[in-house]
Structure 1
Amino acid sequence: MTVTSGEHWIETQRGKLFAKVWLPSNKMRPEEAFLLFHDSLGCVDLWRDFPEKLAHATQRPVVAYDRLGFGKSDPYPGLLPPHFIRDEAETSIPQLRKQLGLGILIPFGHSVGGGMAVATAARHQDICKALVTESAQAFVEDRTLEGIRAAKVAFQEPGQIERLERYHGSKARWVLDAWIETWLAPAFENWSLEEDLKQVRCPVLAIHGDLDEFGSELHPERIARLTPGPVEPVVLSACGHVPHREQPDRVLGELMHFLRQSGLRAEQSPSMTHTVSP
């Protein structure tokens, strides 16, 4: 089975969003799709080949997009508010669904994108069939702040901001400041996913690496404890903050098992091949 991809521009009141859709050959439109939420320094391109692999393994469409201010999307107007994680579910998701023709969703979020995936499942219960978080932060932990402070120092080294510019262009400095200054701000210290988690009704897979420098295993534990529906917390051994890059086969294996356990079809034929057309 082949996987084809296409690029799209999503019009919103605050600016244009860049999105990319991966379609297995047995799908004409992304009516039931994974929706990927990137991390604090991420964008569509930084998912690399994972969306293609995900579409191939599950035979489901995959959609990834650059949040406003990131990647190829338009600049963000101003500073991120403390409620920016919850805002994403209320502002961008309706426009993505409308303009891409999305129906049922399986939100899949990495790091802070995991929080956005949770918020999406909480606010759009009628269309979210399952939820996947990867390295998600459920609250502001000392370990998270220590990791961010260390990254702040590291990004002062020559050439580091230029690495971000490869993906975010002239927005790179804003992207870095939006991550560091928002999380370290006193106004953000009491943030948590608690209220959103209590509203999630679909099955949840919470993936976390035991060596994650931005959050301990307390995060998937809290996700499991606060979510009313079924939750499968999975801690990957010898894995850091980016499981889909560090252990992609293990992540896909856990995801396929989760889909089957949740009653969602996830079939793979040994004869399948996966290629992406431009």
Structure 2
Amino acid sequence: MDAAAPGAGIWVETAHGRLHARSWPAPDADTARPPIVLLHDSLGCVELWRDFPGRLATATGRRVIAYDRLGFGRSDPNPGRLGPDFVLEEARGGLAAVLARFDIGDFVAFGHSIGAGMAITAAAAHPGTCRGVISESAQALVEERTLAGIRAAQRQFALPGQMARLERYHGAKAAWVLDAWTGTWLSPGWASWNLDAELRAASCPILAIHGEDDPYGCTRHPERIAALAGGPVTVRLLPGCGHVPHREQEPDVLRAVVAFLG
């Protein structure tokens, strides 16, 4: 399909399978402005962004692109397990393929949850073209609060009928998606993971949005981003907000992003 049409779908070829992506051009968009590329969370996909990409495009006057990582949503199944460097490798692999397919030079990376970590690594991996990062509900390290939230979600998905929630968006890949999240984060080998090196290498401006009531990470995460990032950081804490600010407090998120991007 035409990648320039609102919400259009397009296939992105990679060495390991096809990625599904969509594009939302803003009405009267200034094509000189770098587009925004969305990076989804651990259980997410393009469809789970819902109406937000279109509203983001309208609010910012920029083209917005979202894609399903390999193994998620409509993209092809992932042939293996996530490796210990999967956050960094996404910036070099899947994201790089999407940028090439859409012929994107300069861009802004907007990530949610682990996708925010990928947005930060994108700034480190693409220092010449990543012009800004919007980090929403980022996990910058492993903390017990995050692990407790994942264990609770794991118990919830073990109840009868709960996997249907994931199958609606990921189809037969749903079990792999859940294990990719819980199995990775709860693995002893993941305990020392953090974004410290990538943050120090990220020189572009960063907007760190975080809900004060996020069950998957306290405000230690945006504080760490602000302390370690190689470029300027704006921290926006949202009172009464949980893990999905773009859904729970969308107007506040859009205002913060518009102000950040100028």
CA RMSD between the two structures: 1.4
In structure 2, the gaps of 5 or more residues are: none
Query: TM-score, normalising length from structure 1?
Result: 0.90
For 2:208, which of 206, 225, 233 is the aligned residue?
Answer: 206
* Secondary structure, counterpart of 2:182 in structure 1: helix
Spell out the pairing of 1:33-48 with structure 2 (5 A cutoff): 33-48=35-50
Corresponding residue of 2:244: 242
**TM-score, normalising length: structure 2:** 0.96
Partner of 1:127: 129
Following the alignment from structure 2 to structure 1, what is the Cα–Cα distance between the partners of residues 229 and 164?
40
Change (3 A) 1:64 1:105: same
- Aligned residue type for 2:156: A
**Aligned match for 2:87, one of 85, 88, 92:** 85
Larger mean Cα displacement after TM superposition, 39-48 or 101-110 = 101-110
Deviations 1:192-226 (A, max 9, x none): 00000000111100000000000000000000000
Q: In 2 relative to 1, CA 58–31 (structure 1 residues): closer, same or farther, beyond 3 Å?
A: closer
CA deviation after TM superposition for structure 1 residue 32, in Å: 2.1
Equivalence for 2:253 = 251
Aligned length: 258
Task: Give ranges in structure 1 of 5+ residues lacking alignment.
Answer: 261-278
Distance 1:29 1:235 in 2: 31
Paired position in structure 2 for 1:24: 26
Structure 1 counterpart SS, 2:130: coil
Given that 2:116 and 2:136 are in contact with CA atoms closer than 8 Å, whether structure 1 keeps it comes out as yes
What CA deviation, in whole Å up to 9, does each residue of 1:123-175 have, x standing for no partner? 10110111100000000011000000011111111111011000000000000
- Confirm or deny: 8 A CA contact 2:30 2:62 kept in the other structure: no
How far residue 26 of structure 1 moved from its aligned partner, in angstroms, is 2.6
How do residues 52-131 of structure 1 correspond to structure 2 at under 5 angstroms? Answer: 52-131=54-133
Contact kept in structure 1, 2:108 and 2:132, CA below 8 Å:
yes
**What is the CA-CA distance between 1:78 and the residue it aligns to?**
1.3
Larger RCO, structure (CA 8 Å, separation 6 or more): 1
1:233 aligned onto 2:214: no
State percent identity of aligned pairs: 51
1:147 aligns with 2:152: no
Matches of 2:80 and 2:256, distance apart in 1: 39
Is the Cα–Cα contact under 8 Å of residues 145 and 216 in structure 2 kept in the other structure?
A: yes
1:26-54, CA deviations, whole angstroms, 9 ceiling, x for partnerless residues?
Answer: 34979721000000000000000000000
2:190 partner letter: F
Distance verdict in 2 for CA 1:16–1:30, change over 3 Å: farther
